[in-house]
Amino acid sequence: MSQLMHYIKQLKNGRLQDKLAQLGWIYQYAKQHIFHIAIYTLLGLSTTVISLISSLVSRDLVDIITGHNTGELLITFATMIGIALGSSVISQISSYLSNKISLKIDNHIKAQIFDDILITDWESLTRYHSGDLLVRWSGDVSTISSGILNTLPNLIIYIFRFFSALIMVLYYDASFAVFALISIPISIYTSRTTMKKIQQGNMSSLTTSTRMSTFNQETFSNIQTVKAFDMLSLYSRRLRMLQQQYTDVRMKYQRTTIINTFILTIVSMIVSYSAYGWGIYKVWSGQISYGTMTMFLSLSTTLSASVDNLISFVPSTIHLANSAKRLMGIVNLPKEDYSQKKQVAQFFDDNKDIGVGLSIRNVAYTYATGTEVFEQASFDAHPHEVIALVGPSGEGKTTMLRVLLSIIRPKEGAGYICAGNGTPESGAPHVDLTASSRQLFAYVPQGNTMFSGTIADNMRNVKENATDEEIIDALKMACAWDFVEKLPEGIYSEIKERGGGFSEGQAQRLSIARALLRRSPILLLDEATSALDMVTERKVLQNIMADKYPRTTIVTTHRPSVLNICKRVYSIGGKQCVLLNEQEINELIKGY
């Protein structure tokens, strides 16, 4: 009754619904591999059947040896060897199939969740540290992939093993079943008292592990900064503190598990020795043979082990549900809208000769932190134009580019991609700015954004079928070919992680070349020339303007030295976006 009240209380608190929802989420992946799971389950069931048959053969063998049975010794012995070999073969097949299925499920889930993360709303995703995302994607998915293979199949196998052994015991001598069955309520009660601690320990272990992995990932990514500020001893101490915290949590969890296992072992030993004593008594009284006693002891052990396995199934299921909960927190985040990709592609195809521009109308944006960046911001940018966004740091220039890329969505107002030099008010054909419209953009963000690999690899990330000649042309336009051609391997020279091996100015020009190679109708340059000298900066922008391709270019800059070659300049600051006149632009240039 108390057990029933316990579950009713959990039901009212919503815990059981949460666990069922998490297991239901896992089932959505499991059902895609139901055929392989069924085969694995059948192999497990067949192993149980062989084990039960082996108990009967062992009984006959012992009875033959002790003279209680006149059967054929050699035939029985050969049968036992055959059963052992068959069991070994099935075990190996099951192990091979288990690894194969586990890897297949693991790869499948990781690929799907990887895709989910890629299309997740950016601002929602930034709530999670990249190290945390990596741990959840790798560790928690592996937990689920192995759990999918083991949870339901093992539950079926353990239940089948318990009842099949119980039926055999009841068939031959019901008294032996009492010893196995009496341990069930004791084991359940013992496990229930430790279950909450096991669940809490498991979640604490996952959280601490994530914290340590996050620390390691961030340290290695910023090792240059750690060295530059001579923070080696500080970070070394922090790692050891995290390691100690992780050790404490794991050992506390281990102690709880050990206590639970120890109690279950004691109960199992009491049951086994009681059954053993009862078997000896029945042999001495002549009620059963030695072989039958051996069979009953084997079956009693099977019953007790099955009960323990079913009980241990609960904490393993909790561990599985916890991993699902952590992944659901990511997978259930809002997703970006890619539903208009075909329409946007068709719109561009219809207008590619005249190009497409941008019209931003009355856009307002406030970050989730409550920081209001701008309100009622409007501007236009057309093909063959270079438009500049200027203003103090932190006033919204990069945020505006994120709005244009639909990485973030405005709270008010809207953005449009318009045909040629048209605007929505002029009746020009247009489409709304969404994630689907990113296919029309090329973007050079602040900082070093090169990937490890060759220069050619980086270039072909944005245009897979680009020829060497196309790559070289883009490098020339970005004023990068002058140093690339001097490299021993040319465009096939290696770039280290985060652009290592190249100066900031060189990496910046490579990033610009990559964006130009994409041949997108809209180019966004976010402080993309900040590491270049003024001469090179102007040359890059002049090359872009001289290109006959109908490209709309928007640059953000702190350096007004290039403003006099821009078609229009907008000042972003004080939550406003204001078009500057010629006099105001000249004052900016003089003040630099």
Q: Closest Cα partner for 531 from 471, 453, 478, 590?
A: 478
Residue 414, both tokens? 């809207």
Arithmetic mean of pLDDT, 131-149: 82
Q: What is the pLDDT of residue 68?
A: 59
If you write DSSP's letter for every residue of 421-448 in order, what string do you get? T--GGGT--EEE-SGGGGGGEEEE-SS-
Report the 10 Å Cβ neighbour count for 272. 18
User: Which pLDDT tens digit goes with each residue over 272-318?
Assistant: 677 777 777 777 877 777 777 777 777 777 777 777 777 677 767 77
pTM above 0.85, yes or no: no
Phi/psi of residue 395, each to 5°?
A: -100, -5
The CATH number fitting domain 15-331, selected from 3.40.50.970, 3.30.70.330, 1.20.1090.10, 1.20.1560.10: 1.20.1560.10
User: Which pLDDT tens digit goes with each residue over 559-580?
Assistant: 777 787 888 999 888 888 899 8
Is the per-residue pLDDT at 14 higher than 60? no
Max CA distance (Å), the chain: 116
Residue spans in the chain of domains classed CATH 1.20.1560.10: 15-331
Residue spans in the chain of domains classed CATH 3.40.50.300: 341-591
Instruction: Answer yes or no: are the C-beta atoms of 304 and 275 closer than 8 Å.
Output: no
User: Which pLDDT tens digit goes with each residue over 232-242?
Assistant: 888 888 888 88
Phi/psi of residue 142, each to 5°?
A: -65, -40
Alpha-carbon distance of 100 to 96, in angstroms, equals: 6
Question: To which CATH superfamily is domain 341-591 assigned?
Answer: P-loop containing nucleotide triphosphate hydrolases (3.40.50.300)
User: Which pLDDT tens digit goes with each residue over 87-129?
Assistant: 788 888 878 877 887 888 888 888 888 888 888 888 888 888 8
If you write DSSP's letter for every residue of 153-215 in order, what string do you get? HHHHHHHHHHHHHHHHHHHH-THHHHHHHTHHHHHHHHHHHHHHHHHHHHHHHHHHHHHHHHH
Higher pLDDT, 483 or 80: 483
